[in-house]
A = this chain, B = another copy of it.
Amino acid sequence: MTETTIEPYLRNAWYLGAWSDEVADGGHLARTIMSQPLVFFRGPDGKAAALEDRCCHRGAPLTHGNVVEAGIECGYHGLIFDGSGQCVSIPGADSIPPQTKVRSYPVVERQEFIWIWMGDAERADESKIIDYPHHDDHAKWPHCKQWLPIESNYMMMVDNLMDLTHLAYVHAKTIGGNPQAHSRAEVDSRETDTGAHYIRWMEDATPPPTYQKAVGFEGNVDRWWDFEFVAPSSVIQWNGAVDVGKGARENQDQPGFHLRLFHSATPETDTTFHYFWSAANGYQQDDPEATDVLYSEIAPTFLEDKMIMEGQQARIDLDPDRPLVTIPSDKALTHARTAIRRLIAEERAELAQAAE
């Protein structure tokens, strides 16, 4: 049996705060992360920033105001805060007391992500941000993406992705597939330093119609499903296939069928999260319609997952500590859960030591 399914958070870690295009030039975005209401905004210089969404003067949400030259202006009495959270203008005041500031959060924008650090600002280390170069390469990896609010603990997304046997049930009416194929498959799963990884191979197999249509294989293929959970809450997925006999196991990154998905679950509260996903078609890259078709086929499946994850949470809320039963297909999921618990325990030990 496993323990509670509501995981606490890793504090000192980068979370995906927003897609870059959710924060327009001169615009702002209200988003709650780890129960902290935030305002993401982008000044005229194009630089993104994140502040707590609460003016220090009378508590008004800064998201009721406007982005101006010097920062974000409170919509109540016009105080202006720059990207560091420091107040730079108080209408009617000759000086600005230093405590006139709001908390700011480190953000790093790259590869179409705005990453945010919710922990101690001094510990923010950009080198720990996931590298996902596919977003930079629109020619080779045209892609589509979405944000979805989900009413469940963030780890439900990781559970979901780390056990593919759900495809035949949750997605029976969409991408579905044969229940036996995934549940009987040999899965190579292991914990990693930063999370967990699993891969499932299907060798010398007839390519499915969608693969065939996308790439035009002439014979059988070696197929794989590759999932990497990277703590705190991202999952990098690579579905692929190459012609039999080309040594796919030794070199996955060769011509064939390639579909890459990026999933990230950012906690909004203990029991809700933001689901960010992108899907990149590494096939028919010259045909913009291929990406549109991919989106229209894949987007509904996330709503199917949303329903099931929210149903889980509703039941878990009734008795969060009630044990669950483990089955064989939970192998990779268990590695992911073990990893996040280990990392949270390490963080706590580190913080306790630092406090001594």
- Show the binding face of A for B, using Cβ within 8 Å: 1, 5, 35, 37, 53-54, 56-61, 64-65, 73-79, 90-93, 97, 99-100, 159, 163, 165-166, 168-170, 179-180, 182-184, 307-308, 311-312, 314-316, 318, 324-329
Contact B311 A60 (CB under 8 A): yes
Inter-chain contacts of A182 with B (CB < 8 A): 92
A93 touches which of B93, B166, B170, B327 (Cβ 8 Å): B327
Q: How far is the CA of A315 from the CA of B51 in the complex (A)?
A: 14
Question: Are A308 and B170 interface neighbours, CB within 8 A?
Answer: no
**A90–B315 touching, CB < 8 Å:** no
Task: Name which of A93, A159, A170, A325 has the most chain B CB atoms within 10 A of its CB.
Answer: A325
Task: Give A54's nearest chain B residue, CB to CB.
Answer: B315
Looking at A58, A64, A169, A314, the one whose CB has the most chain B CB atoms below 10 A away is A58
Q: List 22 A-B contacts (CB under 8 A).
A: A5-B58, A37-B314, A56-B324, A57-B324, A57-B326, A58-B324, A59-B316, A61-B312, A61-B314, A61-B315, A75-B170, A76-B166, A76-B308, A76-B312, A77-B163, A78-B165, A78-B179, A90-B327, A90-B328, A92-B329, A93-B329, A100-B325
Are B169 and A78 in contact, with the CB atoms below 8 A?
yes
CB pair A75–B308 under 8 Å, yes or no, is yes
Q: How many copies does the complex hold?
A: 3
- For A92, give its contact among B56, B73, B328 (CB under 8 Å): B328
Q: Determine the distance from Cα of A163 to Cα of B59 in the docked complex, in whole angstroms.
A: 15
Contact A77 B325 (CB under 8 A): no
Q: How far is the CA of A329 from the CA of B91 in the complex (A)?
A: 8
- CB pair B327 A57 closer than 8 Å: yes
Alpha-carbon distance between A76 and B5 when the two chains are bound, in angstroms: 15
**Neighbouring B residues of A65 by C-beta, 8 Å:** 169
Closest B residue to A326 by CB, please name it.
B57
Taken together as a complex, chains A and B put the C-alpha atoms of A54 and B308 apart, in Å, by: 12
Instruction: Give the shortest distance, in Å, between A102 (CB) and chain B (any CB).
Output: 10
CA distance A92 to B181 in the complex (A): 9
Give CA–CA (A345, B182) in the complex, Å: 54
For the complex, give the distance between the alpha carbons of A184 and B97 in Å: 18
Residue of B nearest to A73 (CB): B169
**Complexed CA–CA distance, A170 and B76 (Å):** 5
Starting from the known contacts A58-B159, A77-B163, 11 additional A-B residue pairs (CB-CB under 8 Å) come to A5-B58, A54-B315, A60-B308, A61-B312, A61-B314, A61-B315, A76-B170, A76-B308, A77-B166, A78-B179, A78-B183
Which 6 pairs between the two chains have the least Cβ-Cβ distance?
Answer: A92-B183, A91-B183, A61-B311, A54-B315, A59-B315, A56-B325
Q: How far is the CA of A315 from the CA of B73 in the complex (A)?
A: 17
Q: Closest residue of chain B to A2, judged by CB?
A: B58
Which residues of chain B are within 8 angstroms of A329 by Cβ–Cβ distance?
77, 91-93
Please, which residue of chain B has its CB at the minimum distance from the CB of A101?
B325
Contact of A168 with B311 in the complex, beta carbons under 8 Å: no
Q: How far is the CB of A314 from chain B (nearest CB, A)?
A: 7
